[in-house]
Amino acid sequence: MVCLILALVALGGCRRSPEAKKAKFMESGKAFMQAKDYPRAILQFRNAAAFAGKDPEPYYEMALAFLADGQLSNAGGALQQALKLNPNYSPAKLKFAELETLSPREKDQREAEKTLQGIVDASPNDTDALSALAQAEIRLGDEEDALKNLAAALEKSPQNLKASVEMAGVKIKKNDLKGAEGVLQMAVQKAPKSADPLE
């Protein structure tokens, strides 16, 4: 009788749809991410990708896990796979462009700036895209435009700690120490308990 029950359970597992299997692995992967167990999260997202068809989300989530684990090259590969499945998948486009801003090659930085400007043009309220665009502009020496985009990001999301730190950094480079101090003080007031990663 026990063998029969186990066989039926196993059969039910085999009959589970690919979508259900993907969802199970995605849920497990996100739980491992919450627990900061990045290698297991990566494995679960990889399993989810096997059942995802043309859905880019498992590769995007896998990239976030690689990034959290410090594996930038693997993160870039996972993002490229996500974009291969869906070139218009905005989260992967944004994250890949953010990675490109860190490249030592100006060509990559210019490509990132172009991509990020396109995202901002399509979604002007996307504060993450505004901050990332500003970061690309800083790397390219265009600090005035960077300050404008950071100001726009902070106007829409005053608790955006990353944008505040970027803006303070630009002001310090311009020897505006008082301005930098004011930006950081405002950031502390707006998001005193923020745990956002600064990257």
pTM over 0.85: no
Say whether 110-191 and 20-87 share the same fold. Answer: yes
Identify the pLDDT of residue 157.
Answer: 87
Sketch the domain layout of the chain as residue ranges. 20-87, 110-191
CB 50 within 8 A of CB 35: no
CATH fold group of domain 110-191: 1.25.40
Q: What string of pLDDT tens digits covers the 199 residues of the chain?
A: 544 444 444 445 456 798 999 999 999 999 999 999 999 999 999 999 999 999 999 999 999 999 999 999 999 999 999 999 999 999 999 999 999 998 899 999 999 999 999 999 999 999 999 999 999 999 999 989 999 999 999 899 888 888 888 888 888 888 888 888 888 888 888 765 554 444 4
* 184: enclosing H helix or E strand: helix 177-190
* 1: enclosing H helix or E strand: none
Identify the pLDDT of residue 195.
Answer: 45
Output the six-digit token pair for 36: 């900061």
Identify the pLDDT of residue 197.
Answer: 43
Identify the pLDDT of residue 1.
Answer: 54
Identify the pLDDT of residue 83.
Answer: 96
Alpha-carbon dihedral angle through residues 92, 140, 152, 192, given to the nearest 10 degrees: 80
- As assigned by CATH, the class of the 20-87 domain is mainly alpha
CB-CB neighbours of 12 under 10 Å? 9
